[in-house]
Chain A
């Protein structure tokens, strides 16, 4: 079946602009995660959604970052007033159920802030 998809695959934006990154999880997966991968910080957790429960936003680095998940499926990660340190690959993952099931990752969105 189809895996996790993300769009765009690459995004170049100017400092100060807002960006939206999209994630389409595997059908039937109730848990959805966003991670960020950067050279300096490695792979770090950002936010978690499970069904209709309140999301766990504990990994968001600042209030410029927000995310939503509509209808329990597609998720959008928004970064406002982008900064150069936001440059990274943003990865989305989904799983059947947390915490015991493995997560399947999308190809990521490479964000470059100039």
Chain B
């Protein structure tokens, strides 16, 4: 059955520290998509990245980077030199092509607190 696990419920770091948010997924599909969303205190979910199952290339966007490893079914997210504005709940999500809907299966989320 499909599932997304974010084992870290809460992480607290001091500004400028690097932090990695873990995401492990389960699926029987060979074609699927992985996503990360950010939910700041304002509440609105903000799209960060989409990855398809055939593209294992790591991606970097500014201070954000993502490491996708099919061998371990993981899609981890690293924030380099964290800032207070990075404080939010981060969700990893899976979409299976076989669903024909694109519905997202979310992990439970990781609350990141960045202290000044």
A residues sitting closer than 8 Å to B (CB atoms) are 31, 33, 35, 42-45, 48, 50, 56, 59, 89, 91, 93, 95, 97-108
- Asked whether A108 lies within 8 Å of B43 as measured between CB atoms, the reply is yes
17 extra interface residue pairs, beta carbon distance < 8 Å, beyond A42-B109, A99-B102, A108-B44: A35-B104, A45-B105, A48-B102, A56-B101, A97-B102, A98-B95, A98-B103, A99-B97, A99-B99, A99-B100, A100-B95, A102-B50, A103-B47, A104-B47, A105-B37, A105-B44, A107-B43
CA distance A101 to B33 in the complex (A): 9
* Residues on the A chain within 8 Å of B97, using CB: 99-100
The answer to whether B102 and A100 touch across the interface, beta carbons within 8 angstroms, is yes
> Most A CB atoms within 10 A — which of B45, B46, B96, B105?
B45
* B52 beta carbon closer than 8 Å to chain A: yes
Known: A45-B103, A56-B101. A99 touches B91 (CB 8 A): no
CB A78 to nearest CB in B, in angstroms, measures 20
- A-B contacts, 12 of them at CB < 8 A, read A45-B104, A45-B105, A48-B101, A48-B102, A89-B43, A91-B45, A98-B102, A99-B97, A99-B101, A101-B102, A105-B37, A105-B46
A101 and B35 alpha carbons, distance in the complex (Å): 10
Partner of A98, one of B45, B101, B107: B101
Choice from B33, B37, B44 contacting A100 with Cβ under 8 Å: B33
Instruction: List residues of B whose CB falls within 8 A of some A CB.
Output: 33, 35, 37, 42-47, 50, 52, 91, 95-97, 99-109
* Minimum CB distance partner of A108 in chain B: B43
The prevalent SS among residues of A at the interface is: strand
Q: Are A42 and B108 in contact (CB under 8 A)?
A: yes
Bound CA span A95–B107, Å = 20
Please indicate the chain A residues that have their CB under 8 angstroms from the CB of B47 in the complex: 102-105
Residues of B within 8 A of A59 (CB): 103
Q: Which residue of A lies closest to B93 (CB)?
A: A43
- Kindly state the separation between the CA atoms of A102 and B52 in the bound complex, as whole angstroms: 11
| Given A99-B33, A108-B43: A56 touches B103 (CB 8 Å cut-off) | yes
Write the nearest CB–CB distance from B11 to chain A, whole angstroms: 17
